[in-house]
Structure 1
Amino acid sequence: MEYRRLGKAGLKVSALSLGSWVTFGKQVDMSDAKTLLKTAYDSGINFFDNAEGYEAGESEKIMGAAISHLGLARDTFAVSSKVFWGGDHKMQMGLSAKHVRDACDAALLRLKVDYLDLYYCHRPDIDTPIEETVRAMHNLIQQGKVTYWGTSEWSAQQITEAHAVARAHHLTPPTMEQPQYNLLHRDKVEGEFLPIYENFGMGLTVWSPLASGILTGKYNDGIPDDSRLTLPGYEWLRDLWTSEDGKLKLEKVRQLSALANDIGVSITHLSLAWCLKNPNVSTVILGASKLSQLEDNLQSIEALEKLTPDVMEKIESILGNKPAAPERFGQ
């Protein structure tokens, strides 16, 4: 396993990590969770990602119970939660100081830990001043309940504002951002975010590196009955890939699959290794509902050496979606 700093922070996280979105509490029960977590941990993964909104907290309960049962030493792994979608009540939503605090306390109980290593604002909240949220996160860090706080799917402008507020009021700024990033979804990470790496040293803990399974190639010939695109509640995901734009992207995946075969790797390994080639990525979050999936994904580290400059150029020619660099002031 390779380890990378979380942006400019001192914490070193495994280049591959394990998340629980769509799997724990949906496709993965307690027994399977223990197997997946033990395999991940024994393979060198030291970061486990979660959120209050994943299966209404059930995902965190399963992960917490599994970690506790395995008896993992607390100083050998990092675990996260995210705050935004806590329930149907008005006070269980968003990034108000109250909900940020209540959600943290609830996550600690579900995950069976005394503190969260990483705590994210799961989405921006236009109804709450950024200063209120930054101060709430700072207070949790001062109380020892959180070590690092970050954002997920915020814009570069919102992240910049959070840093400005933190600087002005001597508060703790965000350390990391968790955006979607994969071969088919690049604009924010490779375009809009370029200034935040340079200005703030933000690290990325990226999600959906396989585009919800599209980049495994298993949808090249249609939608399998046992895929996440057939799960109740995820109809939006199915519609995304059966649209005209989705069909065009699937054709690119077929071409990428052929290229991967030419260089002797799977399309899955090529896709994960491609994300890891980005130096601003601290860790790529894996999702797995089966042990065989996790074991296979872990081998993607070995594909890094196959992604030579020539291969990277061929990938670009297939994709045709390289983001333009953002305009800088004065240019």
Structure 2
Amino acid sequence: MSDIHENGETAEEELIKRHKKERKELQGKVLALKKSSNKYDKKRKKEVLEEIARLETELDLKQEEELNKLKASNADVTDLSDAIGSVELNSPEEEKVSDDVDKVDDDMPASNNQQRVSKAQRRRDKRSSQQKERNERIAQEEAEAALNGPRAIEGRAIGKILSSRNLELHQIPSDGNCLYGAIDHQLSLVGKSMGVMSLRKLTAEHLRQNQNDFLPFITPLADSGDPLNDEEYSMYCDRVEHSQEAWGGQVELRALSNVLHLPIEVLQGSGPPVILGTEFKDSSKVNGEPQTLILTYHRHAYGLGEHYNSVRPKAKESDQLEGQQLVNCNK
């Protein structure tokens, strides 16, 4: 027989009481985690489900270990997990399924050579199966979003434009230098590569020398919205020259077009192409041939902001893959 403690409860009763309390506390944590998850934020929802599964598994293992220790010290202890299991973390519908499973198992005669699986183990197996199904549903929803989300739609649109011009995408790393990297790749196609840092330096010098032309088009740094003063404009040019955090945009594209004396055409998924430096169209020649630098502009390539890629003539073996690169753009 088990010892009776000072509070009048046996060790088994104390353990059952404590385990029930722990499960109720976990139930509160689970509800709080579910409330913290936004149904539109699939990444957060997945993290919450994984955290809930981890907490439930840890508690199951901890309580199972404590039960085994008590059973080892008291031969009269029966399956305490049946009593503790009266506190469930599942929904009413899931509890009904669990009860039905338990009833079927209880009605089945136990084999002499096969040990009956405890209710606690059945709950763990059921919870693991449910978690697996949840993860599969999340993965399916994410896959559908990848095919029909803004990035995929934009990628297919740009892919059609490139295909109609017998071009294909050339991906540029998203390291803060994408605009300059795309321009440098375009120059490399005709053997005129200059390097990202050289292009940044040329852009900054042109901006410094033509402050009056570019200042009105640069977004103010101050919250007041006032135009940049001379010192702030100088700081802006310094960042263009030296900092990867200074991403390039239309101002920098215009400056590069002026410096290189070449038109720059920017293709996009929605809206017509943007062409800068049209005044250089008749006079721009690289190796004796008229030349226009062509970039693609992606609004939805990354969560942090816009992105520029380059293009190249389409290779024959890539015809069947048109547009696919854009769907998986820099994953």
Q: TM-score, normalised by structure 1?
A: 0.19
Computing the radius of gyration over CA atoms, which structure comes out larger, 1 or 2? 2
Q: TM-score, normalised by structure 2?
A: 0.19
Give the helix-richer structure, 1 or 2. 2
